[in-house]
Amino acid sequence: MKITGANLLRTLLERQGIRTIAGIPGGAILPFYDALHCSSIRHILTRHEQGAGFIAQGMARVTGKAAVCLTTSGPGATNLLTAIADARLDSVPLVAITGQVAQSLIGTDAFQEVDTYGLTLPVTKHNFLVRHPAELLDIVPLAFQLAESGRPGPVAIDVPKDVQNATIDVVDWPEPGRPVPVPQCSDELIETLARRLTTARRPVLYLGGGVITAGASDLAQALAHRLSAPVVCSLMALGAVPPDDSLYMGMLGMHAAKGTNFLLEEADLLLAIGARFDDRATGKVAEFCPQATIAHIDIDAAEIGKIKPAFHSLVGDAADILARLLQRLTPQQRPAWRARATELRAAHRLAAPPRANEPLHPVNLCRFLGEILPPDTIVTTDVGQHQMWVAQAYPVRQPRTLLTSGGLGTMGFGLPAAIGAALALSPVEGLAAPGRRVVCVSGDGSILMNIQELATLAELDLPVAVLVFNNAQLGLVRQQQELFYGRRYEAAHFTAVPDFAALARAFGIRGLRLDPRSDPLSELSAALAAPGPCVIEIPIHEHANVYPMVPPGAANRQMIAEPELASAHA
Amino acid sequence: MLEPTTAAIAPSASAATPESPETSCHLLNDKPAGVRTAVLELRVRNHPGTMSHVTGLFARRGFNLEAIVCVPVGDGATSSMLLLVSDEPRLEQVERQLAKLYDVLTVRQRPELTREFFTRLSPIAANGAPAQLP
């Protein structure tokens, strides 16, 4: 069968089971867009390529399967880079397809030519420059296999225009790319770990995003209870253990509850599972968990010992390892250690003024959202203070229901990721939960970084609600300048702040602004209950800070507490 | 660190392509003798981009890379790559990161090889003597 490279690429994606692609066309990718014209694949036209990248990420983060984004060459590819790098740091499976100028023009500084292969090389798990249409038969399945195998990540495929236009004969179609199982670690290693866990007196489980990726949340929770070991989570692991679990200690690190970081000071064994000892989690590494020996389970061998030497390490799939570990462990009671965890948690509750006085205090807002939103609601965030308030105060009750840019910390992530999440829940994607609300919590700084995707949202009419916590500033920047730079506020305040409700209406989306003097929380409930997309602007106090806070580079025990509230609660 | 101070034969990133089957040696850093070094041998898929993946890893992870030799093996489907690197505590981490690269098939240490192996290949470093393969 004679087929063009563009049709071949489309057919390979269809055979891969891809139903939705987000992207923006342009000259070097037009042959492929022409091939999409008669495809079962639904194309989501975004307003900026970064939006396409984060829509694909939103889909991938909800489903765990690689999603596809598509751009043209040159600026299309460079605009996509941030979303690819973001996927790399948070281990999100993504296949990014970019058009490239014809091979005869490569290296001539042709119109919209950029070295996409060179640019994507350091931010992908692997990347390809396709030199002949026949290579697509190998590259496309391999790209999906690599994106989804082991520790997931982004894969980029750069397809020159002449490759899309060239015709070849296809006789045999390859099987779609599927994740390859990783080798099992030995029983001996698991038995040694079981013995060490049994003899530990004050063990703590430190869960990372890898637990959610592995689908090992229930197993991790079971392990905690088998051992009577408290559990701390990185930002990426929120949702792995329900927050009302008696052993759950919340997020560790820079914005942890104080009791959580204090507990880690006392631990004698830290079992890290699918976690990478990020500096926001560990604080000053040399003083992290000073009394603990470290055991580390990870699917990526290069994470073992990268930051902290582990006395015992197991490389493999967390679900497999935890299941086998549980078979070798009998229930253990550690009443004193459990009581200590309960005591620390009770002594250091997250501080917030009473709701009646300040209903729109960010912590109160996030707690209120937890009360009114169903547990399976998907919440996305942008990056900044609002992100940390969500992490601290919003109860993430199920895996894959908090989508947030952890490693790269990309402002502008939240809105397109929410659109992607809503698409993943739409009937065409199979995970049908029509009408299930997706909430994007953002700030007035972050939302403007991909505000253009409100147009995409209006077109798609998805049940995405955008909550803009508005303090007219880059809040986390201002907070750091207040605490660590002598209150010399530089480039942190906005003097012109848009009317976000009016802005939403300009895009054709319902928009409103909560009035703190009326009954704002009832208004918020009503707005979230109404169908369709909406933007809800919430004025918050301009001096509200995220507390506690570990100064960057300091040990986790050196937490700055909220001044007035801390004394009021003492 | 990765700017070539002593360029030897064929210092281009496409040195591993089948179109250029000659052996290439690229001395990247003329460090004084006495710095402890180690030699890693990689078996890699031989196609354009492999060299970029390997050298790029050293650049972005902040690892030291002093010299590279790359030779096609057999029919040229794979190449053998010898890397002169600093023998520091992070060497194991370097090996693990290299092993993660899709185009890198195997990674092993070659303790019997030393810095002199690389300098002998370089006409400039060896005072103008022509490059000789062992």
Output Rg (C-alpha) for chain B, integer angstroms.
Answer: 14
Task: Report residue A74 as tokens.
Answer: 């040159």
User: Is A565 in a helix, a strand, or coil?
Assistant: helix
What pLDDT band is residue B34 in, cutting at 50, 70 and 90? low
Side-chain half-sphere of A24: how many Cα atoms within 13 Å? 20
Contact B48 A129 (CB under 8 A): yes
Name the amino acid, one letter, at B111: P
B93 in A contact zone (CB under 8 Å): yes
Please give, rounded to a whole number of angstroms, the shortest distance from the CA of A154 to a CA of chain B: 13
Q: Are A394 and A379 in contact (CB under 8 A)?
A: yes
Identify which of A437, A447, A509 has the alpha carbon closest to the alpha carbon of residue A474: A447
Closest alpha carbon within chain B to A143: B102
Please tell me the predicted confidence (pLDDT) of residue A436: 81
**Position A367 pLDDT exceeds 80:** yes
B89 in A contact zone (CB under 8 Å): no
Contact A301 B96 (CB under 8 A): yes
Residue B80 has what DSSP assignment? E
Residue B92 has what DSSP assignment? H
Task: Report residue B39 as tokens.
Answer: 């030699």
Percent of the residues in chain A that have a pLDDT greater than 90, as a whole number? 96
What are the φ and ψ backbone dihedral angles of A325, each rounded to 5 degrees? -65, -40
Contact B96 A117 (CB under 8 A): no
What pLDDT band is residue A177 in, cutting at 50, 70 and 90? very high
Tokens 């692991």 correspond to A237
User: Is B78 in a helix, a strand, or coil?
Assistant: strand
Q: Which residue has the higher pLDDT, B25 or A138?
A: A138
Q: How many helices (H) and strands (E) does chain B have?
A: 3, 5
Please tell me the predicted confidence (pLDDT) of residue B119: 87
Q: Which residue has the higher pLDDT, B5 or A253?
A: A253
Contact A301 B53 (CB under 8 A): no
Taking residues A10-23, report their average pLDDT.
Answer: 98
* Cβ within 8 Å of residue A462, ≥6 positions away: A419, A422, A423, A426, A438, A533
**Position B7 pLDDT exceeds 50:** no
What pLDDT band is residue B124 in, cutting at 50, 70 and 90? low
Please give, rounded to a whole number of angstroms, the shortest distance from the CA of A129 to a CA of chain B: 9
pLDDT tens per residue, range A369-405: 999 999 999 999 999 999 999 999 999 999 999 999 9
Contact A125 B102 (CB under 8 A): yes
A144 in B contact zone (CB under 8 Å): no
pLDDT tens per residue, range A257-273: 999 999 999 999 999 99
**Position A518 pLDDT exceeds 50:** yes
Contact B102 A301 (CB under 8 A): no
Task: Report residue A489 as tokens.
Answer: 């506020």
* Cβ within 8 Å of residue A494, ≥6 positions away: A444, A445, A472, A473, A474
Lowest mean pLDDT among A163-177, A438-452, B32-46: B32-46
- Cα of A95 vs its chain's centroid, Å: 16
User: Is A119 in a helix, a strand, or coil?
Assistant: helix
- How far is the C-alpha of A74 from the C-alpha of A28, rounded, in Å? 9
301-360 in chain A: CB under 8 A from chain B: 301-302, 304-306
For residues A441-460, b (16+ Cβ closer than 10 Å) or e, as one string?
Answer: bbbbbbbbbbbbbbbbbbeb
Taking residues A434-458, report their average pLDDT.
Answer: 94
A182 in B contact zone (CB under 8 Å): no
Sign of CA pseudo-dihedral B40, B45, B46, B51:
negative
Sign of CA pseudo-dihedral A115, A118, A123, A124:
positive
Please tell me the predicted confidence (pLDDT) of residue B47: 86
Please give, rounded to a whole number of angstroms, the shortest distance from the CA of A111 to a CA of chain B: 23
Taking residues B13-29, report their average pLDDT.
Answer: 45
Residues of B in contact with A296 (CB under 8 A): none
Q: Are A232 and A250 in contact (CB under 8 A)?
A: yes
- How far is the C-alpha of A542 from the C-alpha of A401, rounded, in Å? 29
pLDDT tens per residue, range A465-478: 999 999 999 999 99
Contact B49 A129 (CB under 8 A): yes
DSSP bridge partners of A439: A379, A465
Contact A122 B48 (CB under 8 A): no
Interface A-B: count of C-beta contacts within 8 A: 28
Please tell me the predicted confidence (pLDDT) of residue B89: 86
Average pLDDT over chain A reads: 96
Q: Which residue in B48, B56, B92 is closest to A122 by CB distance?
A: B56
Contact B93 A302 (CB under 8 A): yes
Please tell me the predicted confidence (pLDDT) of residue B31: 52
Identify which of A94, A336, A314 has the alpha carbon closest to the alpha carbon of residue A230: A336
Lowest mean pLDDT among A181-195, A274-288, A427-441: A427-441
- How far is the C-alpha of A65 from the C-alpha of A59, rounded, in Å? 8
Task: Find which of A100, A306, A307 to mutate to test the B interface (most B CBs within 10 Å of its CB).
Answer: A306
User: Is A113 in a helix, a strand, or coil?
Assistant: coil
pLDDT tens per residue, range A551-565: 999 999 999 988 765
Cα angle A473, A523, A441; round to 5: 40
What pLDDT band is residue B132 in, cutting at 50, 70 and 90? low
**Position B16 pLDDT exceeds 70:** no
What are the φ and ψ backbone dihedral angles of A405, each rounded to 5 degrees? -85, 100
- How far is the C-alpha of A467 from the C-alpha of A452, rounded, in Å? 16
Taking residues B26-48, report their average pLDDT.
Answer: 77
Closest alpha carbon within chain A to B100: A302
Please tell me the predicted confidence (pLDDT) of residue A427: 75
Q: Which residue in A118, A146, A304 is closest to B52 by CB distance?
A: A118
Sign of CA pseudo-dihedral A268, A273, A277, A282:
negative
**Highest-scoring range by mean pLDDT, A67-76, A303-312, B18-27:** A67-76
Identify which of A41, A38, A33 has the alpha carbon closest to the alpha carbon of residue A13: A41
Side-chain half-sphere of A244: how many Cα atoms within 13 Å? 4
User: Is A538 in a helix, a strand, or coil?
Assistant: strand
**Position A149 pLDDT exceeds 50:** yes
E-strand stretches of B64-112: 65-73, 78-86, 104-109
Please tell me the predicted confidence (pLDDT) of residue A284: 95
Lowest mean pLDDT among A43-47, A230-234, B85-89: B85-89
Task: Report residue A244 as tokens.
Answer: 């009302």
- List C-alpha distances in Å: A245 to A225, A240, A262, A392: 10, 11, 19, 15
39-68 in chain B: CB under 8 A from chain A: 48-49, 52-53, 56, 60
Please tell me the predicted confidence (pLDDT) of residue B88: 86
Task: Report residue A298 as tokens.
Answer: 């990870």
Taking residues B102-130, report their average pLDDT.
Answer: 82
Please tell me the predicted confidence (pLDDT) of residue B122: 75
Please give, rounded to a whole number of angstroms, the shortest distance from the CA of A158 to a CA of chain B: 13
- List C-alpha distances in Å: B94 to A320, B40, B100: 27, 10, 10
**Position A95 pLDDT exceeds 60:** yes
Q: ipTM of the assembly?
A: 0.87
Identify which of A280, A262, A463, A475 has the alpha carbon closest to the alpha carbon of residue A385: A475
Please tell me the predicted confidence (pLDDT) of residue B33: 52
- Length of chain B equals 134
Please tell me the predicted confidence (pLDDT) of residue A197: 97
pLDDT tens per residue, range A25-82: 999 999 999 999 999 999 999 999 999 999 999 999 999 999 999 999 999 999 999 9
Q: Which residue in A117, A146, A306 is closest to B93 by CB distance?
A: A306
- How far is the C-alpha of A496 from the C-alpha of A390, rounded, in Å? 26
Closest alpha carbon within chain B to A130: B48
Q: Which residue in B52, B100, B102 is closest to A302 by CB distance?
A: B100
User: Is B21 in a helix, a strand, or coil?
Assistant: coil
Taking residues A3-26, report their average pLDDT.
Answer: 98
Reported pTM: 0.92
A430 in B contact zone (CB under 8 Å): no
* Cβ within 8 Å of residue B34, ≥6 positions away: none
Contact A121 B100 (CB under 8 A): no
B19 in A contact zone (CB under 8 Å): no
Closest alpha carbon within chain A to B99: A302
Q: Which residue in B56, B92, B97 is closest to A121 by CB distance?
A: B56
Residues of A in contact with B92 (CB under 8 A): 305
What pLDDT band is residue B4 in, cutting at 50, 70 and 90? very low
Please tell me the predicted confidence (pLDDT) of residue B125: 57
- Length of chain A equals 570
pLDDT tens per residue, range B44-66: 999 889 999 999 999 888 898 99
Closest alpha carbon within chain A to B55: A122
What are the φ and ψ backbone dihedral angles of B68, each rounded to 5 degrees? -135, 140
pLDDT tens per residue, range A120-144: 999 999 999 999 999 999 999 999 9
Please tell me the predicted confidence (pLDDT) of residue A564: 63
* Cβ within 8 Å of residue B46, ≥6 positions away: B16, B17, B18, B72, B73, B76, B77, B78, B79
Q: Which residue in B56, B60, B93 is closest to A305 by CB distance?
A: B93
- How far is the C-alpha of A475 from the C-alpha of A473, rounded, in Å? 5
Q: In sequence order, what DSSP letters do the residues of A427-456 get, joined into one string?
A: GGGS---TT--EEEEEETTTGGGSTTHHHH
Output Rg (C-alpha) for chain A, integer angstroms.
Answer: 24
DSSP bridge partners of A271: A205, A295
User: Is A12 in a helix, a strand, or coil?
Assistant: helix
Identify which of A272, A220, A276 has the alpha carbon closest to the alpha carbon of residue A245: A220
**Position B121 pLDDT exceeds 60:** yes
Please tell me the predicted confidence (pLDDT) of residue B3: 34
